[in-house]
Amino acid sequence: MWDNRPAMDPFARRAIGRTDVLVTQLGCGGATLGDMRGTIPEAQADVTLEGAYASGISYFDTAPWYGSGKSEHRMGRVLGGKPRESYVLSTKIGRVFFRPRDPQAFVRERTYGGLPFDLRFDYSRDGVLRSYEDSLMRLGINTVDALLIHDLDLGYHRTEEGVQAALGQLDGGRGFATLQELKARGEIRAIGAGINVVGMIPRFLERFPLEFFLVAMPYTLLSQEAIERELPLCAERGAGVVIGAPFASGILATGPGGAATYGYRPAEEAVVEKTRRLEAVCRRHGVPLGAAALQFPLGHPSVASVIPGPNAPDQVRLNLEWMRTEIPPQLWAELKTEGLLRADAPTPG
């Protein structure tokens, strides 16, 4: 579902799959606002979110995992003062946070930033309800538009047995049925899942009628793995797609410099070299690499929005500039000719 504005207008709205949830093509992800890459001052977080909202961005996504609740606190502090109908808000379930047994030792030993709370994975009915209610309290907002099942994959659950156990909680433990009840009561408007790797979308859809997926990493300018099976299956089932990490966690925004990251780790040389080649093609057409990276996923008909995670106002402004950059079709054609983009990847325009 489209409005009548230009395709790369960052504020044009698309429906997520077959739901009635309309999101701006450019959204705002909340991962970095959980101190994912270092401590962000509260004032900086506030002015970043205020700038995104004031610019016209009206889709915001967060999660309990992002800073152990800090991202939700920050997003709620800003959005809570805005008219509720003026923005779409999604958060996630799957982790429950609690006071650590030894608070002082926990703070000394933990390896991630954010608030000092321990966690457990829980996709059961009780876990879903606890996570949902806790999120509302952290946000200070008494409704969210969508809930997503978060990080149910081998990367977080270690073994196939761990994945099966989590899927079992969703199914036999009535976690998914609970999400459906929340939607039936009108508390939420859409049910989704966050995906980091290929292979999980088919497993979800064979068991659960999910309405959308937030895909981070498998569909970017650097890698289009999801186009083989995941995205066609979404199209077949009418499931919408939101693209998280459109800059592949950094390198497509910063370029292939020494501190470039890919997949939330230092980029390997093969990725750096491919990024150099992508950047060279973009330069020949007078297009910033970041603009091509941000706009590329929106060429797929299932993709409703891209949600980079700005952590400063200048990043919000740059994302808007990149979304508005005119990209000639010759750029996409050259990327395909050079073997840098899959020949079957749909492109904007």
Residues noted as catalytic: 61, 66, 92
Phi, psi of 140 (to 5 degrees): 70, 20
Which string of DSSP letters, residue by residue, matches 169-195? HHHTT-HHHHHHHHHHTTS-SEEEEEE
Residues 6+ apart with CB under 8 A from 306: 25, 26, 27, 242, 243, 246, 294, 297, 298
User: From CA 317, how far away is CA 98, in angstroms rounded?
Assistant: 37
Which is nearest to 304 in space by CA: 17, 20, 91? Answer: 17
- Give me 101's structure tokens: 């047994």
The 3-state DSSP class for residue 219 equals: coil
User: From CA 163, how far away is CA 215, in angstroms rounded?
Assistant: 18
Residues 6+ apart with CB under 8 A from 185: none
**Residue 235 exposure: Cα atoms within 13 Å on the Cβ side:** 11
The enclosing H or E element of 130 equals helix 125-139
User: From CA 167, how far away is CA 124, in angstroms rounded?
Assistant: 9
